[in-house]
Every structure is written in C-alpha cells, then in structure tokens.
Amino acid sequence: MDLAALGECLATPACVITQGAAGLIAGFLLFLVAAGLTLIFGVLGFVNFIHGSFYMFGAYFAYTAYTLTGSYALAILAGTVGAALIGAVVELLIARKVYDADVLLQILVCYALILIFDDVARIIWGDEFLSMGMPEAFQRAPFFVLGGVIPPFYLLLIGVALAIAMGLALLMQRTRYGKLVRAIAQNPRMVGSLGVNTRLVYLSVFMLGVSLAGAAGALAAPVRSMTIGMGFSILIESFIVTVIGGMGSIAGALIAALAIGLVRSFGSVGFPLFTEGLIFLMMIGVLLVRPQGLLGRPVREL
C-alpha cells in the first residue's frame, strides 16, 4: 500500500490524465466484452462462460488478417466477423439446446467448449506469445495534455468503443429489431405466437453479443500479447461488470466497466499488490447497497 504515491498522483494533473486515459481504455474494452455478455444473458438467459474465448479468437483473427494485409481496419473487421461466425456455429449446434437447462449444465457445456477452443487455437497459432505490434499509422509521438501522455492509439480505441456503445444503444432503443429483442426477453412465447421466428432472433442476439467480444479482442491486439487462454481473465472481469451494472443492463455495464478500469489504473499506483482485491471490494460494496446492481431491476419476492 502506497497512499502517499496515490495522493501525489491525484494532486498532479499529468498523472491524473495519464492514468485516467489508461483506465478509460481498459474500461471501454471491458465494456465491449461485458455488453455482449449481458446482452446474451439478458435475452437468452444463457450463462455464456465461453465469452472470453470469442475475445481470444477476435485477437487471433485480427493478428492473422493484419499479418496478411497490413490493414488494421481489416484486422478489426476480421476479428469481429470471425467471432460472430464461430458464435453462429456454437449457437446453432450447441447453445440453443441448453437455453432452458440448469445453470450447472450450461457451465459444464461452456467449460468443455473452452478446452476445445483453446486446443484449436493452440493447433492453429501455437503456444508462443504473439504480438501484432502497433499499426504504422499510430507510430507517432503521443499527445501531451497538462503534462499527461495520451498515445494516438488510445484516442482511436476510445472513439471506436464510444461509437459501438452509442450504436448498440440506438439499435436496442430506437429500432424495430431492438424492440423485438426486448419483447422476447420479457415474453418469448407471446412474441412467438405472433408469428416471429424467435430462434432466428436468438441466433442474431448471440452473434451480436460474441461479435462485441471479438471486436474488443481485435481492438486490444496491438497493445496486448496474445496467448492461449487469454480470454479467461477478461471473462471474470466481465461477469463482475455484469453483476455491478445489473443483469441485462447495458448502460449499467458501461458505468461499471469504466469504474473498474479507473479503479484498476489508479489502484495500481496506490495499491500495486491489491489491485484485483479493490475490484472485488467494489463489487461487494455495490451488492450490499443494491443487490440487483447499479441499474438492474429489483428481484420480486414470490
């Protein structure tokens, strides 16, 4: 514990801006993964423990596409679409068969898929740590704001993540598809009785959710190393975000993810050996005050 260092950082604009930018980057990437997770759980009721594997595949697909083309834009597209296509196969062949099953069975099925996906990734990309490297367009001097350092790539990540968050919000709140998804989340049998192909909607929601994880993996590829099982840690954090923000609440996921990113960033200054503990303490504190999460709906007692 080094409270003096944390106090000095908070009193220094340069440190606040530098650590704040790093926290926002981590938070927005975490939000993309958690948003897909909470969307799938909120609509399908499926505890998607394989969500981290789609983050991993998104990073590996982006790495491969960038190696072949040299285009980071194509790399992001490859990571997003690749994860969505794998998600379609998983949903059609496996996930939809256990939507109504016990949670334990869902977790066991997901754990088996995690092991399979890790082995598939190991066969294709090997066991070694891989690094995409910074795209050439962003290999330039950082911006300085009040002495704080903000790399140009950070601005891209924040901009893309914000655009995706706004697009997802508009999709869910302002479009017929969004209204249909929200209706199915409330009463799928009633919607199905009106002639809507609910299975097709389920498939689209699952693909949308895992594509967000793939996009996060692709966006993070230039600044994070790729290795087998890399999705596990962000999966745990994503579930924490879902719990803190409220099950099924995308807005809550955004608030929780940014809070976790900032706590992790500034916590590494004052509590370098207890950063993970701070996140769990924050989750416990929120649940003690609001068991349903920040923006979750209260559970009605029977």
DSSP 148: E
Q: How many CB atoms within 10 Å of residue 125?
A: 17
pLDDT for res 297: 67
CA Rg value for the chain: 20
Task: Give the whole-angstrom CA distance, residue 108 versus residue 275.
Answer: 30
pLDDT for res 138: 84
- Closest residue by Cα to residue 53 from 180, 204, 210, 196: 210
Distances (CA, A) of 124 to 118, 121, 216: 10, 5, 21
- Closest residue by Cα to residue 125 from 233, 232, 227: 227
Task: Give the whole-angstrom CA distance, residue 284 versus residue 225.
Answer: 31
Distances (CA, A) of 4 to 94, 246, 270: 52, 34, 7
* Main-chain dihedrals φ then ψ at residue 198, nearest 5 degrees: -65, -30
pLDDT for res 301: 40
Give the residue ranges of the chain where pLDDT is below 70.
297-302
Task: Give the whole-angstrom CA distance, residue 265 versus residue 122.
Answer: 31
Is 287 within 8 Å of 14 (Cβ atoms)?
no
Task: Give the whole-angstrom CA distance, residue 244 versus residue 131.
Answer: 32
Type and span of the H or E element at 144: strand 143-145
Task: Give the whole-angstrom CA distance, residue 197 versus residue 69.
Answer: 39
DSSP 72: H
Task: Give the whole-angstrom CA distance, residue 242 versus residue 292.
Answer: 10
pLDDT for res 298: 63
* Main-chain dihedrals φ then ψ at residue 224, nearest 5 degrees: -135, 145
